[in-house]
A and B are shown apart, each in its own frame.
Chain A
Amino acid sequence: MERLRFSTLDSAGLLLRLFGILARLTVTAEQEGENLSGLSTNPDKDIFVVRENGTTCLMVEFAVRFTVPFDVLAINGIDLITENAYLALPRGADIEGKCGSQDADIHISWKDKAYTLRINFVKETRDKGDEVWKMSKLQFVYDTSEKTHFINPYNPGKHTASSHGLSALVTPAGRSYVCEAKQTLTLISSDHQKGVTVAMSDIQIQPFDINSDFMFSEAYKCITDQREQLEETLPLILGFILGLIIVITLSVYHFHLKLTAVTQPQLPRDRSMYKNM
Chain B
Amino acid sequence: MAHLIRSKFQNKLSNAATSMSNKSTAKVSGMMARMGFQAATDEEGLGFAACDDLDYDHRQGLQMDIMKSDEMEGGVGAGEDGMAAGDSHYQRDGTGPPPSGSKASGLGEEEKSPKITAWEAGWNVTNAIQGMFVLGLPYAILHGGYLGLFLIIFAAVVCCYTGKILIACLYEEDEDGQLVRVRDTYVDIANACCQPRFPSLGGHIVNVAQIIELVMTCILYVVVSGNLMYNSFPTLPISQKSWAIVATAALLPCAFLKNLKSVSKFSLLCTIAHFVINILVIAYCLSRARYWAWDKVKFYIDVKKFPISIGIIVFSYTSQIFLPSLEGNMQKPSDFHCMMNWTHIAACVLKGLFALVAYLTWADATKEVITDNLPSTIRAVVNLFLVSKALLSYPLPFFAAVEVLEKSFFNEQERTWFPSCYGGDGRLKAWGLTLRCSLVVFTLLMAIYVPHFALLMGLTGSLTGAGLCFLLPSLFHLKLLWRKLLWHHVFFDVAIFVIGGICAISGFIHSMEGLIEAYKYGIED
Binds A, one of B83-91, B487-495, B503-511: B83-91
Residue B99 interfacial (CB < 8 Å): no
Interface membership of chain A positions 260-277, coded 1 if the CB is closer than 8 angstroms to chain B and 0 otherwise: 011011011011111110
The contact of A250 among B55, B107, B425, B433, by CB within 8 Å, is: B433
CB distance from B491 to the nearest CB of A (A): 34
Interface membership of chain A positions 188-212, coded 1 if the CB is closer than 8 angstroms to chain B and 0 otherwise: 0000000000000000000000000
The contact of B441 among A232, A234, A246, A257, by CB within 8 Å, is: A246
Residue A238 interfacial (CB < 8 Å): yes
CB distance from B200 to the nearest CB of A (A): 11
Q: Complex formed: what's the CA distance from A208 to B138 in Å?
A: 57
A270 touches B430 (CB 8 A): no
The contact of B242 among A234, A246, A268, A272, by CB within 8 Å, is: A234
A227 touches B430 (CB 8 A): no
CB distance from A182 to the nearest CB of B (A): 14
CB distance from B117 to the nearest CB of A (A): 26
- Known contacts A231-B238, A234-B242, A238-B245; A254 and B59 CB within 8 A of each other: no
Q: Complex formed: what's the CA distance from A272 to B433 in Å?
A: 27
A273 touches B433 (CB 8 A): no
What residues on A are CB-neighbors of B52 within 8 Å?
A: 271-272
A267 touches B59 (CB 8 A): yes
Residue B74 interfacial (CB < 8 Å): no
What residues on A are CB-neighbors of B48 within 8 Å?
A: 272, 274-275
Contacting A at CB under 8 A, from B420-434, are: 423-425, 427, 429-430, 433-434
Q: Complex formed: what's the CA distance from A238 to B441 in Å?
A: 13
| B: contact size bracket | 35 or more
Interface membership of chain A positions 233-251, coded 1 if the CB is closer than 8 angstroms to chain B and 0 otherwise: 0110011011001100110
Contacting B at CB under 8 A, from A113-129, are: none
Residue A6 interfacial (CB < 8 Å): no
Q: Complex formed: what's the CA distance from A231 to B429 in Å?
A: 38
The contact of A257 among B59, B83, B246, B427, by CB within 8 Å, is: B427
Residue A75 interfacial (CB < 8 Å): no
| A: contact size bracket | 20 to 34
- Known contacts A231-B242, A272-B55; A267 and B237 CB within 8 A of each other: no
- Known contacts A238-B245, A238-B246; A268 and B252 CB within 8 A of each other: no
The contact of A249 among B84, B245, B437, by CB within 8 Å, is: B437
CB distance from A68 to the nearest CB of B (A): 25
The contact of B82 among A231, A267, A271, by CB within 8 Å, is: A267
What residues on A are CB-neighbors of B237 within 8 Å?
A: 227, 230-231, 234
What residues on A are CB-neighbors of B70 within 8 Å?
A: 265
Interface membership of chain B positions 236-268, coded 1 if the CB is closer than 8 angstroms to chain A and 0 otherwise: 011101100110110010000000000000000
Residue B62 interfacial (CB < 8 Å): yes
Q: Complex formed: what's the CA distance from A238 to B241 in Å?
A: 10
Residue B517 interfacial (CB < 8 Å): no
Residue B174 interfacial (CB < 8 Å): no
Interface membership of chain B positions 397-420, coded 1 if the CB is closer than 8 angstroms to chain A and 0 otherwise: 000000000000000011000000
Interface membership of chain B positions 33-68, coded 1 if the CB is closer than 8 angstroms to chain A and 0 otherwise: 000000000001100100110011001001100100
| 16 pairs of residues in contact across A and B, judged by CB atoms under 8 Å | A227-B237, A234-B242, A235-B241, A238-B246, A241-B249, A246-B252, A261-B425, A262-B425, A264-B109, A267-B59, A267-B62, A268-B59, A270-B84, A270-B87, A275-B48, A275-B51
Interface residues, chain A, with chain B CB atoms under 8 Å away? 227, 230-232, 234-235, 238-239, 241-242, 245-246, 249-250, 253-254, 257, 261-262, 264-265, 267-268, 270-276
Using A272-B90, A275-B51, A276-B414 as known contacts, list a sample of 14 further A-B pairs with CB atoms less than 8 Å apart, ordered by residue number in A: A227-B237, A231-B238, A250-B437, A253-B430, A257-B423, A264-B108, A264-B109, A264-B424, A265-B107, A267-B59, A268-B59, A270-B83, A270-B84, A271-B51
